[in-house]
Chains A and B, each alone.
Chain A
Amino acid sequence: MSEVAQAFAWINSTMRADSALMAAATGGLWLGLADIGTVPPFVSYGKQADTDILTMNKVRLWASLLMQIKAVGPTSTYAAMVIIADRIDALFKSVRPTALPGGGGVLECYRDGSIALDDPQPINGVQWTSLGGLYRIDLQGS
């Protein structure tokens, strides 16, 4: 099974199980872009980069995935975005080996860097921003 798809599923289910995060993220969780009309703030996640870890004989051991997970919303919702970013970090900053449903598992997960980026232009006169991090997920596929 695709390691990236497994990672997306794990990120999604881990965040959905966190009531504080889901309460703050009124717009829900989105892979990539949120639909137009989604009530902010919301969580956006996606793959930023990846490297396969191979043996000398080119047998894949695991995939090292760099994932972007962030809160997105207008700056007026910044307090809620901070809560979301804090919960994201609490969930993913230090994950030890975890089995995944369907086989395989997350070997480790940690933050590789933070993201705090204002959108280049206001949207309908409102400034939007994002807050979160880049998380390294080493995942052994099923």
Chain B
Amino acid sequence: MAGVVYNHFPQIAARLKPACQRIVTNTTLYTRDAVQSGATVRTGFMKGAVYAVTPDGTSTYGQGPPPPTDDVYLLPEVRPANDTTGIVGCAANYSPFVNYGTRYMAAQPFWEPGIEDGNAFLDIECSKFEGLLGSIT
């Protein structure tokens, strides 16, 4: 008696990474937009300085408006440590003071609300994982 043995693991393994990269890329860009949409605007520099770096290395760092005054600047860009990681960052040097507040300025949070939206979006994206692997015959 003999049976047919199927081994599709090589095909599945080959599709895992692209699927993960797609999910991370979509989530990174969505989170960047979510953080950006909540950022307060006076000159637009801080909002424009919210950036995303996707797993393929594509970055939106430094694409916003230039610093409006001499005492504000962009913090260095953070790059992903590997090709399945995405980065969202606020490069304006004064972002924490706006987000967390100071003695004379109430907090105007935009970072945590955006990250929470991104977390929820990641759950939705992960539900597409099986579909991204596709059918294997």
Contacts and interface: CB of A to CB of B under 8 A. Distances in A.
Contacts, number: 52
A120 B106 CA distance: 14
B120 interface: yes
B93 to A, nearest CB: 9
Given A33-B106, A68-B107, A44 B101 contact: yes
Interface in A100-142: 115, 117, 119-120, 123, 128, 130, 134
Main secondary structure of the interface of A (DSSP, over half): strand
Nearest to A115: B100
A77 interface: no
Interface centre among B94, B112, B115, B116 (most CB of A within 10 A): B112
A119 B97 CA distance: 7
B96 A117 contact: yes
B103 A119 contact: yes
Interface string A41-72: 00010111111000000000000001010001
B107 A120 contact: no
Given A68-B101, A68-B107, A115-B100, 11 more contacts: A33-B104, A34-B103, A44-B101, A48-B100, A49-B109, A49-B112, A50-B113, A117-B96, A119-B103, A120-B94, A120-B97
Interface of A: 32-34, 44, 46-51, 66, 68, 72, 115, 117, 119-120, 123, 128, 130, 134
